[in-house]
Amino acid sequence: MKKFDGHETALVADVDCTAEGKSLCQEHGVKGYPTLKYGDPSDLQDYQGGRDFKALKKFAEENLKPMCSINNMELCDEKAAEELRGFMNMDIDELNALVEEKEKLMTDAEENFTKGVNELQNTYKQLQADKEATLQSIKDAGLGKMKSVYAFREKNKDAKKEEL
């Protein structure tokens, strides 16, 4: 944070999501800690890179700068500028409905992922339990004794068979 203190366009801040910053964290979808976000304040993105100072500094130097947005149209390529102009020309209720639709799609994707992971976890647990039960039943059926007798007989196969 000290490295970017007073920077013209970049803000690096620490927010306590358990105290005064709770509403800000809820607004931006912070669910776990630590969470790093970057980008336009109205559309913050999750940071997925390294957490050491070197990686964070490199990312900040390369990415924390003015970007194409409604406030920086001169930084947009023609396609992005046209898309922004299209959204600006939409009725605000229509735009809100579109935002809500896209956010719902994102929420649905997250929920689908979480459900799938939970199903995989439950399948894993069941497979693990089944494997352990099968291995135990094999051992209980005398595998150790079989191996012992086999090793003994293999070692002594040329010797006269003796009764045990």
| Average confidence (pLDDT) per 10 residues, the chain, 164 residues | 68 80 82 78 83 86 82 92 96 97 95 97 97 96 94 85 55
d(CA 45, CA 109): 16
Range of the domain at 150: 92-155
Domain count, the chain: 2
Q: How far apart are CA 15 and CA 34, in angstroms?
A: 10
Q: Which pLDDT does position 144 carry in this prediction?
A: 93
Q: What angle do CA 19, 20, 21 make, to 5 degrees?
A: 95
pLDDT given at position 31: 79
Domain identity same for 1 and 82: yes
| pTM exceeds 0.75 | no
Instruction: Establish if 160 belongs to a structural domain.
Output: no
Q: Are residues 69 and 114 in the same domain?
A: no
Domain boundary among 48, 66, 89: 89
CA dist., res. 98 & res. 103, Å (int): 9
